[in-house]
Amino acid sequence: MSEQRVDKHGAQLAGPSSAAELVHALWRITRAMDGLRWELARHTDLRLIDHMALEYVTNAGKPVEPTDLSNRLGMRTQSGTEFIDRLVRSGHLERYPHPRDGRRIVLRPTPAAAAQESIREQRALVLAAIDELADQLTVEEVRTITTYLGRAAEVITAHTTNAGASSHPGPHADPTVPAAISPPT
């Protein structure tokens, strides 16, 4: 018979089987997000890497320079330049002077790319359905889930930013980049 583990307040701690269930649930969410990205890219006739680039430039919350995007996608400088040139030629990205340093260049999605209504509609549907799930949770459940997911993200970040450090960090240097670049099975 195994001994039960308790926290400092005497509450029973989850054992290995509960931890495995949580890890499996995280894996399922990751796979589902990968699938959503593939579907959104397919729906707009973009390659996944193009969709990821536009998603990053659109949602970065800061000016995105070409080297930022190249690093984000795990590309070396020359490949990143060619990739960005292709997105500019195809009408998805534009280059502009940096707002604070006119000698530098930043990237923005073109108005046509930013206004892709089908992507916004699909995202809105998914987010609304997830919000409905969250509305059914108690405040304590939200606090517990948020704490666990935040700690899990910290662990993943620590392992992805320190593993295999090189001058070419790749997409896993930033935990918000999808881990899979292949279609979900």
Q: What is the pLDDT of residue 167?
A: 38
Each residue's pLDDT tens digit, 108-138: 988 877 766 567 777 788 889 999 999 999 9
**pLDDT tens digit sequence for 12-38:** 777 667 778 888 899 999 899 888 888
pTM for the complete prediction?
A: 0.60
Question: So what's the pLDDT on residue 183?
Answer: 40
pLDDT, residue 173, reads: 39
Domains of the chain: 16-152+169-173 (1.10.10.10)
Query: Rg of the Cα trace of the chain?
Result: 20
According to the model, what pLDDT value does residue 177 have?
A: 41
**CA atoms within 13 A of residue 24's CA, in its CB half-sphere:** 6
Give Cβ neighbours of residue 96 (< 8 Å, ≥ 6 apart).
105, 106, 107, 108
Tens of pLDDT, residue by residue over 72-91, are 899 998 999 999 999 999 89
The per-residue pLDDT of the chain, averaged, comes to 80
At 145 the pLDDT is 92
- Whole-number Cα distances in Å, 93 to 83, 113, 121: 11, 8, 21
pLDDT of the residue at 16 = 67
For 73-132, strand residue ranges (E) read 93-97, 105-109
pLDDT of 99 > 50? The answer is yes
